[in-house]
């Protein structure tokens, strides 16, 4: 299953946003692992219910009648900009997310992004 605009990276405020559909497919986890294949520029997202040294906490809040799911990590977001060849900070980018057959892993091809000009009021 491909989720259009399933993940967004906001370089100006160091956050990654996940769509409702992405989080629903991952079974709404409290934490996630973000696994990078630097050579292929691929990102794998795996849910986790327990915190460890390699997880990111998923921050949730309601916005305009729906839920917003985010993680915050300046270091990770800055590294993503370097990896895909964008200046830091730069405009926001969106990715399509592909759920893998195991039903617990989401895949993102970091080479295939869509640029969205940064707006301070984006959520």
Domain assignments of the chain as residue spans, ordered by start: 2-116
pLDDT at 116: 86
pLDDT at 19: 94
CA 41 to chain centre: 14
Per-residue confidence in pLDDT tens, the chain, 123 aa: 899 999 999 999 999 999 999 999 999 999 999 999 999 999 999 999 899 989 999 999 888 878 899 999 999 999 999 999 999 988 899 999 999 999 999 999 999 999 987 665 555
8 Å CB contact between 32 and 17: no
The pair of structure tokens assigned to 71 is 């993680």
Dihedral over alpha carbons 62, 65, 66, 70 (to 10 degrees)? -30
pTM: 0.89
The pair of structure tokens assigned to 28 is 């709404």
pLDDT at 81: 95
pLDDT at 121: 52
């Amino acid at each position: 299953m491909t989720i259009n605009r399933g993940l967004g990276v906001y370089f100006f405020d160091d956050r990654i946003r996940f769509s409702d559909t992405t989080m629903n497919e991952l079974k709404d986890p409290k934490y996630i692992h973000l696994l990078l294949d630097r050579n292929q520029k691929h990102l794998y997202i795996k849910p986790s219910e327990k915190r460890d040294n390699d997880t990111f906490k998923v921050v949730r809040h309601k916005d305009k009648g729906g839920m917003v799911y985010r993680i915050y990590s300046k270091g990770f977001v800055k590294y993503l900009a370097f990896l895909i060849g964008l200046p830091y900070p730069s405009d926001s980018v969106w990715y399509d997310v592909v759920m893998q057959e195991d039903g617990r892993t989401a895949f993102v091809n970091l080479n295939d992004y869509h640029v969205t000009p940064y707006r301070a009021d984006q959520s």
